[in-house]
Amino acid sequence: AQSVAQPEDQVNVAEGNPLTVKCTYSVSGNPYLFWYVQYPNRGLQFLLKYITGDNLVKGSYGFEAEFNKSQTSFHLKKPSALVSDSALYFCAAQEGTGFQKLVFGTGTRLLVSP
């Protein structure tokens, strides 16, 4: 069965410092991988995706993610955090063939302090 793990419930980082939010996945076959962000009392917003190709994927708001097939990881990164990046981040994965049942991780709360 597909699964996604986000090992950190919360990540704390100071504004201006680089940030990493970790994600590992278990998907049979080639995975499609996604990051979403949720601000308070809002729905999830798509940040970026990996389907195929370059292992470093760039997305919205300066975020990027690195796909590592050998480590089955898809960590979210940003070179310089902003206070406004504080939100709940979800990693999601689906099997890359056939059907679109997307499986989500439990979410990681990012807190960026001034």
Partner 1 sequence: NAGVTQTPKFQVLKTGQSMTLQCAQDMNHEYMSWYRQDPGMGLRLIHYSVGAGITDQGEVPNGYNVSRSTTEDFPLRLLSAAPSQTSVYFCASSYFPVPSGGYTFGSGTRLTVV
Q: Whole-angstrom Cα distance, residue 20 to residue 8?
A: 11
- Residue 25 found at the interface with partner 1 (CB under 8 A): no
The residue (of 14 and 51) whose beta carbon lies closer to partner 1 is 51
Check the CA dihedral 38-56-23-81 and report its sign.
negative
Q: x/- contact string, 84-103, with partner 1 (CB under 8 A)?
A: ------x-------xxxxxx
Q: Whole-angstrom Cα distance, residue 12 to residue 113?
A: 8
With vertex at residue 77, the alpha carbon angle to CA 16 and CA 107, rounded to the nearest 5 degrees, is 110
Q: Whole-angstrom Cα distance, residue 63 to residue 109?
A: 15
- Residue 82 found at the interface with partner 1 (CB under 8 A): no
The residue (of 46 and 61) whose beta carbon lies closer to partner 1 is 46
Q: x/- contact string, 41-80, with partner 1 (CB under 8 A)?
A: xxxxxx--x-x-----------------------------
- Residue 40 found at the interface with partner 1 (CB under 8 A): no
**Partner residues linked to 20 by β-bridges:** 77
Q: Which residues bind partner 1 (CB under 8 A)?
A: 4, 9, 32, 34, 36, 41-46, 49, 51, 90, 98-107
